[in-house]
Chains A and B, each alone.
Chain A
């Protein structure tokens, strides 16, 4: 299953709902394009909902890191929502869990963005 992405806006925060696999090739490209499009529209408060992401490889992790630094370098914020156990474990192993702001509840995640 390749990755699918859709976006919605809640209280000034863009929530990107991702599903499928974020891997080298299509999945990573989809994520990169989505982040670029959002930043192009000055949507800089981005919540990545990974609840339906079934698989992520090192390229996908790299794409998440790239998204995080790109958004931050443009003065925005990017947070992660609803990690599956597999993604959670990967971020723990790679010491990235403490780098990302990870949330497990959408409402509180939205509130956590700077006003």
Chain B
């Protein structure tokens, strides 16, 4: 059962990243999540939006980012998609590996997976859709991961 669903089509800009983050935090705050969970949801959405704007669409003004938020009653489901070149699982480095520990980038997906209960990445050809799920009444932990 969907209690509330909103979606936005946004430009590939940092302003869009901020809007997605702020919307996530506001919606999460209206649901029975604790402050820590709200913070983690907002941060996961920010990271996913950065990936879409920066790595996916590469700030291309002709490419859009779509963000949707759905309160299903027992979960908050967020989908973020871009129109970029796509994201392959093998392209995602393990930032905890010794050889990657001091790299400047490559921690976004890892943080998303750390903060959300479920994370699914789907190749749209072109583009990528990432689905983030946070269940109500479940503490933050390692997410179940899936490729579609």
Instruction: Kindly state the separation between the CA atoms of A66 and B102 in the bound complex, as whole angstroms.
Output: 8
Say whether B50 contacts A96, CB under 8 Å. no
Chain A contributes a number of interface residues (CB within 8 A of B) equal to 20
Say whether A24 contacts B17, CB under 8 Å. yes
**If the complex has contacts A93-B114, A94-B95, A95-B101, are A59 and B39 also in contact, measured as CB distance less than 8 A?**
no
Instruction: Kindly state the separation between the CA atoms of A20 and B72 in the bound complex, as whole angstroms.
Output: 34
Is residue A37 within 8 Å, beta carbon to beta carbon, of the partner chain?
Answer: no
- 1/0 per residue A4-32: CB within 8 Å of B? 00000000000000000001110000000
Instruction: Kindly state the separation between the CA atoms of A61 and B114 in the bound complex, as whole angstroms.
Output: 15
**If the complex has contacts A58-B111, A61-B107, are A99 and B47 also in contact, measured as CB distance less than 8 A?**
no
A-B contact count (CB 8 A): 44
Say whether A58 contacts B101, CB under 8 Å. no
| Interface of A (DSSP majority class) | helix
Interface size range of chain B in the complex: 20 to 34
| Smallest Cβ-Cβ distance to A23: which chain B residue | B46
Please name all residues of chain A whose beta carbon is closer than 8 Å to the beta carbon of B127 when the two chains form the complex.
Answer: none
Say whether B50 contacts A24, CB under 8 Å. yes
Please name all residues of chain B whose beta carbon is closer than 8 Å to the beta carbon of A63 when the two chains form the complex.
Answer: 104
Please name all residues of chain A whose beta carbon is closer than 8 Å to the beta carbon of B105 when the two chains form the complex.
Answer: 58-59, 62
Say whether B111 contacts A93, CB under 8 Å. yes
Please name all residues of chain B whose beta carbon is closer than 8 Å to the beta carbon of A65 when the two chains form the complex.
Answer: 102-104
What's the least CB distance linking B29 to chain A, in Å? 16
What's the least CB distance linking B127 to chain A, in Å? 20
Is residue B14 within 8 Å, beta carbon to beta carbon, of the partner chain?
Answer: yes
User: Which residues in B have some Cβ–Cβ distance to A below 8 Å?
Assistant: 14, 17, 39, 43, 46-47, 50, 54, 95-96, 101-105, 107-108, 110-111, 114
Question: Would you list the 8 A-B pairs with minimal beta carbon distance, nearest first?
Answer: A62-B104, A58-B107, A58-B108, A66-B104, A25-B14, A95-B96, A62-B105, A93-B114
